[in-house]
Amino acid sequence: MPPRRQPTARQARLGAELRKLREAAGLKATEAASLLGVNSVQMSQIESGIAGVSEERLRRLAAHYACDDEALIAALVVMATERKRGWWEEYRGSLPNAFLDLAELEHHAGFRWDVDFLHIPGLLQTEDYARALFSYMNTDLAEKEVDRWVEHRMRRRVIIESPEPTLYTTVVHEAALRVKVGDRVQALTQLRQVLELSEAEHVTVRVIPFDVDGFGGAGSAMIYAGGATSGLDTVVRDGPHGTVFVDAEAQLQRFRKLFRKLEAVALEPERSRAFIRRLTKEL
């Protein structure tokens, strides 16, 4: 199989995890390459996600690295051997790769946490809200391209609307609820949709009001996707140079603590719904 020109974030993560296991075992890439009967360039391609790896080879590496975490090994095997194309592949070449990587990440996530301060979280957005947002932020997009972006965002809601939905918790600031991305009618429709979705047993919406004392966490927007094991969790953040996928354990621990800290100052779910209902009456 020829090397991939551009691995997905999931393929790159598999390679990165294999590299972490090798480094934890104190082995050089040349030693691992020798074990598999490949050269150092091919080993580098496996660890960067450019080249795939079979289940047999992956398990051989794990054994050689003395990795006894069976849950992790099983999860890596799934990542290495899955062949089914997800619905997001329909958009490859017409949307930024980060959009597709996010859809794939959340498709496989065991749970999902969102934190947002400026906008309604993507999974809760209406079509009109998403369209207004994309059009405003990307003035060079043609109308058909905006349609494509909106369609993709709406399809991502499958993870909370399917018969076997993902557990979803979002912490959203009052500012995001009050900003009128569209007109008054669209803003009201958007808030009502957040309320409707929040009634689902697997969806939790919690609001941080303006009047919380001592709150300095407004720069903490993130998406946190739970992996098959905690070591395979991923944080997604938008930065000045694009979307960043974070998977270093020290960073993951930091974001877990940060999310719990934000939850602690947010209103409880029922009080959050009451808060949003009050906002709808003000529009």
**What CATH number corresponds to the domain at position 265?**
3.30.870
**End residue of a domain, out of 32, 52, 81:** 81
The pLDDT, as a whole number, for residue 32 is 97
The pLDDT, as a whole number, for residue 1 is 58
Cα–Cα distances in angstroms (integers) from residue 212 to residues 130, 205, 264, 282, in the given order: 28, 17, 11, 20
Whole-structure pTM value = 0.95
Mean of the per-residue pLDDT values for the chain? 96
**End residue of a domain, out of 81, 108, 135:** 81
Tokens of 109: 């996530």
**What CATH number corresponds to the domain at position 46?**
1.10.260.40
Q: Which pLDDT tens digit goes with each residue over 196-235? A: 999 999 999 999 999 999 999 888 899 999 999 999 999 9
Q: How far is Cα 21 from Cα 18, in angstroms, rounded to an integer? A: 5
By residue range, what is the domain housing residue 107? 87-282
Which residues does 239 contact at the CB level (< 8 Å), separation at least 6? none
- Residue 169's identity, in one-letter code, is T
Whether 2 is covered by a domain: the verdict is: no
Burial of 216 per CB tally in 10 Å (0-12, 13-18, 19+): exposed
**pLDDT over threshold 90, residue 240:** no
The pLDDT, as a whole number, for residue 83 is 86
